[in-house]
Amino acid sequence: MRKRLALCLALCMLLAGCGFQTECQKHSITLFGTFDTVVTLTGYASEKSFQQEAGKVREMLEYYSMVFDAYQEYDGMNNLCTLNRLGGQAAVTVPEPLADVILQCQRLAQDVDGGTNIALGSVLFLWHDFREAYAKNPENASLPDERTLQLAAEHTCLTDVTVDEAASTVRYEDAALKLDLGAVAKGYAAQKIAEMLLKSDMPSFLLSLGGNVVAGEAPLDGRAFWSVGVQDPSDQYGATLDVVFVTERSVVTSGDYQRYCLIDGTRYHHIIDPETLYPAQYVRAVTVVCQDAFLADYLSTALFLMPPEQGMTLVETLENVEALWVTQDNTVQMTPGMKEIAQSQGANAHRLAGE
């Protein structure tokens, strides 16, 4: 009797939350042109609500990808590119999210002992320029030389960045310092979008922004969880290595297969070890699952920049953070909590919450 009552109640809530059941269907859209990546949004809603929410997502993506763009400036805003040009001369008034993300990274740098340093820009831009040159003309592209990297590394101290939160201004105390937000910008934007969607008419959604995935409330098709694939770094066609089942969680991956060039068998990828100033060699990929997409993005880069054993110890100190490592020899390691949500360890999407 109780069970039937609970079922009726759940059905009523479902109908109330989504208009009539028949109107509430699964929709998907792929969005191009922001963050240099492909974005997909899936949601359970009426056609009208989905279009509305997808429109808002598109607007937010466009806004955040302009704010965090390190390579191009835009009329009417002092974005990251403007800040890098002027921040060494004077305090620059920036959009609130830009000041916020820098402050959050400064706070995290104190708590998390890892290699994610958004002030590594002067070094990262040398590697970016190399990858760009290589893509255009491999014959003429030369690797950044050791001396140039060392000189650039002298201007990478995050405490040299002063943020005035109230005034929303940022100033660099070191005129040669540059910020690069590639490690966190997508996660920050994904988190803001997720917060908006959770309060909207479409709280049941899955947003995928490059290697950053955020799951909203459970899908409205009877499954208790969304399924999120973890890519196999060694498969050139991007096959899935495992699947994790989540609701209201972020799943973020940093991997050496995302942006790289292969020269004489050496993979020069995009995540740079601040100790060596060369692409990090500890692992092939790290996936982090936690509630906040920004934190997950910060941590996935940080864990990529240390040996898995050290990463495991770090994750143990953090609450509600799970991680999966794919090591250089392609073996997989997981935290105990990750094992509980991984398909390879027996988890599936049909478990009903509480059962």
CB 287 within 8 A of CB 304: no
Question: Contact letters (x/-) for ligand AMP, 41-60, by CB under 6 A?
Answer: --------------------
What lies within 8 Å, CB to CB, of 249 at 6+ separation is: 214, 215, 289, 290, 291
Give the interface segment with ligand AMP, choosing from 40-48, 87-95, 300-308, 324-332 (CB under 6 A).
300-308
Comparing C-alpha atoms, which of 55, 60, 37 is closest to residue 45? 55
Tokens 């098709």 identify what position?
A: 221
166, burial (CB in 10 Å: exposed 0-12, middle 13-18, buried 19+)? exposed
301 binds Mg ion (CB under 5 A): yes
Residues 255 and 232: their CA atoms lie apart, in Å, by 10
Closest to 262 (Cα-Cα) out of 279, 276, 248: 279
For residues 84-113, which are near ligand AMP according to CB under 6 A? Answer: none
Residues binding Mg ion: number (CB under 5 A): 4
Q: Which stretch binds ligand AMP (CB under 6 A): 6-14, 31-39, 59-67, 176-184?
A: 176-184
Q: Does 155 bind ligand AMP (CB under 6 A)?
A: no
Question: How far is Cα 324 from Cα 339, in angstroms, rounded to an integer?
Answer: 9
Find the binder of ligand AMP among 232, 242, 256, 297 (CB under 6 A): 297
Under the binding rule (CB under 6 A), the answer on residue 117 touching ligand AMP is yes
Q: Print the binding letters for residues 225-254 with ligand AMP: x by CB under 6 A, - otherwise.
A: -----------------------------x
CB of 70 to ligand AMP, least distance (A): 8
333/325 Cα distance (integer angstroms): 5
Query: Nearer Cβ to ligand AMP, position 45 or 271?
Result: 271
Let me know: does 290 contact 322? Beta carbons within 8 Å. Answer: yes
Count of residues in contact with ligand AMP, rule CB under 6 A? 22
Among the listed residues 180, 232, 256, 297, the single contact to Mg ion using CB under 5 A: 297
**DSSP 3-state percent helix, strand, coil across the chain (nearest 5):** 40, 25, 35
Q: Is 272 in the site for ligand AMP (CB under 6 A)?
A: yes
Residues 173-232 close enough to bind Mg ion by CB under 5 A: 183
Q: How far apart are CA 232 and CA 229, in angstroms?
A: 9
Handedness of CA 161, 271, 127, 64 (dihedral sign): negative
CB count within 10 Å of CB 108 equals 18
Q: Which of 66, 94, 112, 183 binds ligand AMP (CB under 6 A)?
A: 183
CB of 144 to ligand AMP, least distance (A): 13
From candidates 49, 79, 208, 300, binder to Mg ion by CB under 5 A:
300
Residues that bind Mg ion (CB under 5 A): 183, 297, 300-301
Residues that bind ligand AMP (CB under 6 A): 115-118, 120, 124, 180, 182-183, 211, 254, 258-259, 270-272, 274, 297, 300-301, 304-305
